[in-house]
């Protein structure tokens, strides 16, 4: 049988079943919507390999993640400026569009696949170290994350300004959050008002279209039963409490930073994007000026020059790696690897992350499991998603149901713990992918999967809002392709463990309330040989549990710290300029002096928005002064 070629406009799939027709059409249309053909024509990589660069660029942006996509798009709004955006990865695969397949792209070529160094204090259940996925794809980690839109606590940004960074307090940065936002939840917008939310920005912020109200009500009612308040908008007037947050989703599909900021720029001829471009170093001259970058493209070494600025937006791991490979970093460390020191700065230090410890509950354990019924339900859910963009595949369990609590002081306005909740319906493959993503030891994975056969699983993920002892990123060698050394320093401070134990006790109380009991909630016993020798349910047991099960919430920040001249631990100034290097800035999560209390994607996009304003204002003034001469 002859098969007609498929195009982005194809709607007729021949004599296929209705389900297959819908699936294929939606997959094709979704991919075309993300990646317009005009973007292909503006990937100048092949031309650069054959002929060199035909354009002189005003700005070069390294990394098309949550910071880089924003700054490249915003700078290219000025038609007089030519912008080159270099991304080490390629286009995101179709799986990234579908929220329910979020774990399918982890540990693939779209992920840098980092591991931390082994520790004797945390992550003991992970044979290879704690896994740190980072997006190696257009959109960066915003293309593979869980899509929660959480800004953090207003005091986070007030603290940044108090540390000597003028212009970064909450009232100053709020407008940049709002400038990005296109809030699709009109009820929430009307409730909180325009003081906190906005419509019309490039970043779609909406509701996960999942029919999970039963489990959501169990969690929220259980939280209220033990004294916590309900909060309809954790990005509004107050952060504390339990409620449903929004995500970077639109009509049941992911809205990554690339989709939000690069797709609207598809017709701008002054913005070039090169995929699969691995930047190996910043080119620095003898005057301490950044001239551009050197990068690898399909085995060819290329050099691109920037007349105005080079902007590093490679993320909290890759940004310090590139800086150190370029000779900007701790002098002793660089000298030990034979790297010429261009500027002695504390690059790679101040590494902070949100430490995650999972607490597992099983539901409906007495109900018999019907494998055939589960398969039929799976088919129905696939059909439901691709036809209407609703159902389990339109979200990630109840991950949009979050709690911000203070385990020590119930009247505090700042949380010490965030609880993210993920509900895994029995019969779906997502739970196996979830625990496989973290990389627990085989015995632990087997024991959890056995429990999953006997009931639904709810993961209450305990997330510590502040890390007491920062970690660090170091080079292993001068090889730009070798993963750097990540020393996470999880649970180095006993108070962190104590916070986890207090959070466990709160979740245990919730699990014994009527809303939970109605659904036969039971604690899942994780098999940990050394912990099982301790007194059952004692604080000592839960400390042992925490030190074994410590994972990452995948929010590394701080490795190119922002600070004033008096802050000897800082790398960039409040304008995000690398200290002592002219023409080089950092625009990503690595500039955070302290980690925000909540998911870090929205704050990183805000950083991109504010940086774009600072860079644009600086160069517009220079251009205007030149015109007067």
For 99, the token pair is 């929220």
DSSP 202-221: SEEEB------HHHHHHHHH
Nearest CA among 159, 155, 158, 149 for reference residue 233 = 149
Q: What is the pLDDT of residue 41?
A: 59
Nearest CA among 36, 38, 14, 39 for reference residue 24 = 14
Strands 300-312 and 290-297: antiparallel
| Widest Cα–Cα separation across the chain | 82
Could you tell me if 155 and 415 are in contact, meaning their C-beta atoms sit under 8 angstroms apart? no
Residue 86's Cα: distance from chain center in Å?
19
Euclidean distance between CA atoms 347 and 475, whole angstroms = 11
pLDDT beneath 70: ranges in the chain: 1-41, 192-193, 211, 366-375
Could you tell me if 229 and 242 are in contact, meaning their C-beta atoms sit under 8 angstroms apart? yes
Strands 401-405 and 417-424: antiparallel
Euclidean distance between CA atoms 152 and 292, whole angstroms = 34
Global pTM reads: 0.94
Q: What is the pLDDT of residue 215?
A: 92
Euclidean distance between CA atoms 76 and 276, whole angstroms = 21
Task: Give the H or E element holding residue 25.
Answer: helix 18-34
What is the DSSP secondary structure assignment for residue 91, as one 8-state letter?
A: P
CB atoms within 10 A of CB 366: 8
Task: Using alpha carbons, list the distances in angstroms from residue 65 to 202, 216, 627.
Answer: 15, 31, 34
Which of 333, 388, 555, 618 is labelled catalytic? 555
The count of residues in the chain is: 629
Q: Torsions phi, psi of 457, nearest 5?
A: -120, 130
For 572, the token pair is 């960039």
Integer Rg of the chain from CA: 24
Task: Using alpha carbons, list the distances in angstroms from residue 265 to 31, 255, 401.
Answer: 17, 15, 33
* Exposure string over 132-166, b if 16+ CB within 10 A, otherwise e: bbbbbbbbbbbbbbbbbbbbbbbbbbbbbbebbbe
Task: Give the H or E element holding residue 149.
Answer: strand 148-149
Q: What is the pLDDT of residue 153?
A: 98
Q: What is the pLDDT of residue 14?
A: 32
Helices (H) and strands (E) in the chain, counts: 18, 26
Q: Where are the alpha helices (DSSP H) in 337-493?
A: 371-388, 430-438, 442-452
For 120, the token pair is 């004797």
What 3-state class would DSSP assign to 101?
helix
Q: Where are the alpha helices (DSSP H) in 52-194?
A: 68-75, 154-162, 170-180, 186-192
For 622, the token pair is 């220079």
Q: What is the pLDDT of residue 27?
A: 54
Could you tell me if 303 and 292 are in contact, meaning their C-beta atoms sit under 8 angstroms apart? yes
Residue 556's Cα: distance from chain center in Å?
9
Could you tell me if 393 and 99 are in contact, meaning their C-beta atoms sit under 8 angstroms apart? yes
Using a CB cutoff of 8 Å and minimum separation of 24, what contacts does 376-381 make? Answer: 377/427, 378/427, 378/428, 379/19
555 is catalytic: yes
CB atoms within 10 A of CB 344: 16
Please return the burial class of 494, using the count of CB atoms within 10 Å of its CB with bins 0-12, 13-18 and 19+: exposed
CB atoms within 10 A of CB 429: 11
Nearest CA among 228, 212, 156 for reference residue 555 = 156
């Amino acid at each position: 049988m002859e098969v007609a070629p498929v195009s982005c406009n194809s709607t007729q799939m021949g004599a296929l079943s209705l389900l297959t027709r819908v699936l294929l059409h939606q997959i094709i249309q979704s991919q075309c919507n993300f990646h317009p053909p005009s973007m292909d024509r503006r990937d100048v990589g092949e031309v650069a390999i054959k002929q060199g660069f035909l354009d002189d660029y005003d700005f070069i942006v390294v990394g098309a993640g949550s910071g880089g996509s924003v700054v490249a798009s915003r700078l290219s709004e000025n038609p007089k400026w030519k912008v080159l955006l270099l991304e080490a990865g390629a286009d995101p695969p179709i799986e990234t569009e579908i929220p329910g397949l979020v774990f399918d792209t982890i540990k693939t070529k779209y992920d840098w696949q980092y591991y931390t160094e082994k520790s004797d204090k945390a992550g003991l259940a992970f044979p290879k170290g704690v896994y740190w996925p980072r997006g190696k794809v257009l959109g960066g980690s915003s293309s593979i994350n869980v899509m929660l839109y959480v800004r953090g606590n207003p005091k986070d940004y007030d603290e940044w300004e108090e540390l000597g960074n003028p212009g970064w307090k909450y009232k100053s940065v709020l407008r940049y959050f709002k400038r990005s936002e296109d809030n699709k939840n009109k009820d929430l917008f009307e409730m909180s008002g325009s003081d906190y939310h906005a419509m019309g920005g490039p970043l779609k912020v909406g509701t996960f279209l999942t029919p999970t109200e039963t489990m959501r009500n169990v969690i929220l009612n259980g939280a209220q039963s033990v004294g916590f308040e309900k909060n309809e908008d954790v990005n509004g007037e107050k952060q504390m409490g339990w409620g449903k947050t929004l995500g970077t989703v639109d009509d049941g599909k992911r809205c990554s930073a690339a989709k939000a900021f690069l797709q609207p720029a598809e017709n701008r001829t002054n913005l070039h994007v090169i995929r699969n471009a691995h930047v190996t170093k910043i080119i620095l001259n003898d005057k301490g000026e950044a001239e551009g970058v050197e990068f690898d493209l399909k085995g060819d070494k290329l050099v691109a020059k920037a007349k105005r600025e080079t902007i590093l937006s490679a993320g909290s791991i890759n940004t310090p790696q590139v800086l150190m490979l370029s000779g900007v970093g701790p002098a002793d460390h660089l000298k030990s690897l034979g790297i010429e020191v261009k500027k002695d700065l504390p690059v790679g230090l101040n590494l902070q992350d949100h430490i995650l410890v999972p607490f597992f509950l099983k539901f409906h354990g007495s109900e018999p499991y019907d494998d055939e019924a589960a398969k039929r339900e799976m088919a129905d859910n696939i059909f439901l998603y691709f036809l209407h963009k609703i159902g389990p595949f339109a979200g990630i369990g109840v991950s949009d149901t979050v709690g911000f609590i203070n385990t020590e002081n119930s009247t505090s306005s700042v949380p010490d713990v965030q609880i993210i909740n993920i509900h895994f319906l029995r019969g779906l493959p997502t739970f196996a992918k979830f625990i496989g993503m973290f990389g627990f030891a085989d015995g632990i994975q087997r024991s959890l999967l056995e429990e999953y056969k006997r009931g639904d699983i709810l993961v209450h993920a305990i997330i510590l809002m502040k890390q007491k002892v920062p970690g660090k990123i170091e080079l292993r060698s001068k090889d730009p392709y070798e993963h750097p050394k990540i020393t996470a320093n999880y649970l180095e401070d006993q108070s962190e463990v104590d916070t986890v134990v207090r959070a466990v006790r709160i979740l245990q109380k919730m699990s014994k309330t009527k809303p939970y009991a109605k659904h036969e909630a039971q604690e899942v016993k994780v098999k940990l040989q050394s912990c099982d020798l301790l007194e059952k349910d004692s604080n000592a047991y839960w400390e042992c549990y925490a030190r074994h099960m410590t994972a990452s919430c995948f929010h590394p920040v701080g490795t190119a710290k922002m600070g004033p001249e008096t802050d000897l631990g800082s790398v960039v100034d409040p304008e995000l300029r690398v200290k002592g290097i002219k023409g080089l800035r950092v625009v990503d999560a690595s500039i955070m002096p302290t980690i925000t209390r909540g998911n870090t994607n929205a704050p990183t996009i805000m950083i991109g928005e504010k940086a774009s304003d600072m860079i644009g204002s600086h160069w517009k003034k220079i251009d205007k002064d030149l015109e007067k001469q």
